[in-house]
Amino acid sequence: MSAPAGLRDTARLEPAGGPDRGDPGTRAPDPGARPLIARFLQVRAATEALVAGLSPEDCALQSMPKASPVKWHLGHTTWFFETFLLLSHARRYRAYDDEFAPLFNSHFESFGQRLPKESRGLLSRPSLDAVMRYRTAVTESVVEYLSGRWPLAPDALAAFELGVQHEQREQEQILADLKHLLSSNPLRPVFRPLPLQAATSAKPLTWFECAEGLREIGHDGAGFGFDNERPRHRQFVEAFEFGSRLVTSGEYLDFIDDNGYGRPELWMADGWTHVKRLGWTAPLYWERQGRRWMQYTLAGLREVDPDEPVCHVSWYEADAYARWAKARLPTEAEWEIVAHEATQGGNFLETGRLHPSPLSALRVDWGPAQLFGDAWEWTSSVHQPFPGYAPVPGPLGEYNSRFMVNQFVLRGGSCATPQAHIRVTYRNYRPPHARWQFTGIRLARRLA
C-alpha cells in the first residue's frame, strides 16, 4: 500500500492552469471561491449526516448484486472528486492511496481494472474508519484547491460541479441500497422515525388536456445539466391527457385484487417472465399479514396507507397497471411539457420523511400535482441519445452514454432526492425490472 498523502503534501495545491507567483498558503482565499467551498462542504456534510448512527456492519454489507454498501458509496464519491478534480487539475496533488482507485471506481473502464460491483460487499478492508479518513483528507484537499486566488479553468469548474451533482445523486442511492439491506433483516430495523403528518385523504384522479404541437424539450445550457439532458430540441407531440397526481397504493391494491399479477394479457412478455420466475404479487417491500397489507419503510414495518403514492414498482408493473387502468405511461416529452408549468415544491429528501406522502391538496387550477418529489415517475420512453447528442470528451463521457440501452427514463425525483438536485429536464434511468429505487406511476391517455 502506498503511503497516504497527508495534509503536509496537499496543503499547497497548484492548479494545472499555471504556476503561481508567491506562496498560495499565505494568502487569503479568493472571494469568488467561497460560495463553491460552502456548497461543497454542505453537500459533503449532508452525506455524512445521512449515514450518522449507522454501525460499521450496516455500512459494510451488500444485500444484492445491484446494490452497494454504504461504505463503498462514501469511498466512491471521494474517489470521484479525487480523480476528476484533484488528480486532473491540481498539479501537486498525489493520490491518497493508489490501491483505492480499483476499489471505488464504479464503471469508468478508461481507468483500467476495477472491482466487480457484485463483490463490493466483500470489502472488509479498508475499514469504515479508513474510508472516512480518506474522505476527510480529500475534502480538505478540495477546499485547499478551491481556495487559490487563480480562477478555476472551465474544465476544472465543470469537474467540480459534476462531482457535487454526483454526490447528491449518490445520497439517494445510499438510501435506496440501505433500505434494501435493512429490509432483508428479519428484525426489520428502523433507520429513521417517520415524521408526523396531518391526516388527509386521496383526491380523485382527474385529467388535464394538452394540445398537440411542436414543442422543445431538453436542457438549454443555462446552469448545470448532465450530458444526457442535452441538446434542447424540437419534438412533435399528439394531443394527450395527463393524470392529475401519482397513482395511490389504494388504487394499486384494486389492481392486485383484480388479479393483476395473474393476467398475462396485461404484461409485456419479459415482464410476465419476471412475474412468474420471481413470484411477484405486489410492489417490493409489501407483504400480506392476514387481511392487512404491510410494507417495509425506512421507519420500519407499517401498514400500507391507501392514500400514499405507490412506490417501488418496476417499469413492467407500472406498464401493466396503466394497461389495466385503460391508460398508459406518459412519454418523457409529455411529462416535461407539463412539468414546465409546475412548481418544484414537493416531498424531497429535506423533509426527512424518506417515504411518499399523501397529496394534501389538489386544485384544478393549479395543474397536475406531485410532479416533483415523492416517487420517480416511469415514462414509456427508452433512455437513448437526444438528436445531436455528443458525450463530453474523455473519461467523463462514460458517465451516461454507456447506459443508453435497455433502460427506461424516469422523471421528477423522489422522497429521497435532494431538492437542489432536481430539474425539469433531469433524466434518470433504470432497467425495466428494477424495483428497489423510489419509483412510482403517473398515467396518461391519448386525447381522442
Residue 113 has pLDDT above 90, yes or no: no
CA-based nearest residue to 139, from 69, 37, 71 = 37
Q: What does the pLDDT read at residue 364?
A: 60
The model scores a pTM over 0.85: yes
Contact 93, 145 (CB under 8 A): yes
Strands 408-411 and 300-303: unpaired
Other C-beta atoms closer than 10 Å to the C-beta of 275 total: 22
Mean pLDDT of 100-117: 91
pLDDT in tens, 418-441: 999 999 999 999 999 999 999 999
Other C-beta atoms closer than 10 Å to the C-beta of 155 total: 17
Q: What is the mean pLDDT of the chain?
A: 91
Residue 109 has pLDDT above 60, yes or no: yes
By residue count, the chain amounts to 448
Band of residue 245 on the pLDDT scale cut at 50, 70, 90: very high
Q: What does the pLDDT read at residue 343?
A: 78
Q: What percent of the chain is predicted at pLDDT more than 70?
A: 92
Q: What does the pLDDT read at residue 344?
A: 76
CATH H-level, domain 207-446: superfamily: paralog of FGE (formylglycine-generating enzyme) (3.90.1580.10)
Mean pLDDT of 383-411: 89
Q: Long-range contacts of range 122-128, CB-CB < 8 Å, 24 or more positions apart?
A: 123/60, 123/69, 123/71, 123/72, 124/60, 126/75, 126/100, 127/56, 128/56, 128/59, 128/60, 128/71, 128/74
Mean pLDDT of 108-136: 94
Band of residue 6 on the pLDDT scale cut at 50, 70, 90: very low
Band of residue 26 on the pLDDT scale cut at 50, 70, 90: very low
| Lowest mean pLDDT segment, chosen from 114-118, 145-149, 158-162, 406-410 | 145-149
Compare 188 and 9 and report the one with higher pLDDT.
Answer: 188
Residue 12 has pLDDT above 80, yes or no: no
pLDDT in tens, 356-371: 999 987 666 678 999 9
Band of residue 409 on the pLDDT scale cut at 50, 70, 90: very high
Identify the DSSP state of 28. Answer: P
- Biggest CA–CA distance in the chain, Å, is 75
Q: Looking at the domain 7-183, which fold is it? A: Four Helix Bundle (Hemerythrin (Met), subunit A) (1.20.120)
Mean pLDDT of 120-142: 97
- For residue 281, which amino acid is it? T
pLDDT in tens, 282-295: 999 999 999 999 99
Domain range list for the chain? 7-183, 207-446
Please state whether the peptide bond connecting residue 126 to the residue before it is cis, i.e. omega within 30 degrees of 0: yes
Q: What does the pLDDT read at residue 265?
A: 98
Residue 108 has pLDDT above 50, yes or no: yes
Residue 24 has pLDDT above 70, yes or no: no
Strand, coil or helix: 90: strand
Contact 417, 348 (CB under 8 A): yes
Residue with cell 444485500: 63
Instruction: Give the separation between CA 305 and CA 422, rounded to whole angstroms.
Output: 26
Residue 240 has pLDDT above 80, yes or no: yes
Residue with cell 389492481: 255
Q: What does the pLDDT read at residue 200?
A: 74
pLDDT in tens, 319-328: 999 999 999 9
Residue 22 has pLDDT above 80, yes or no: no
Instruction: Write a three-state SS string for 241-295.
Output: EEECCCCEHHHHHHHHHCCHHHCHHHCCHHHHHHHHHHCCCCCCCEEEECCEEEE
Q: What does the pLDDT read at residue 198?
A: 66
Mean pLDDT of 190-208: 85
CA-based nearest residue to 9, from 25, 26, 33, 29 = 25
Main-chain dihedrals φ then ψ at residue 116, nearest 5 degrees? -60, 145
| Lowest mean pLDDT segment, chosen from 177-186, 193-202, 232-241, 388-397 | 193-202
Mean pLDDT of 223-228: 93
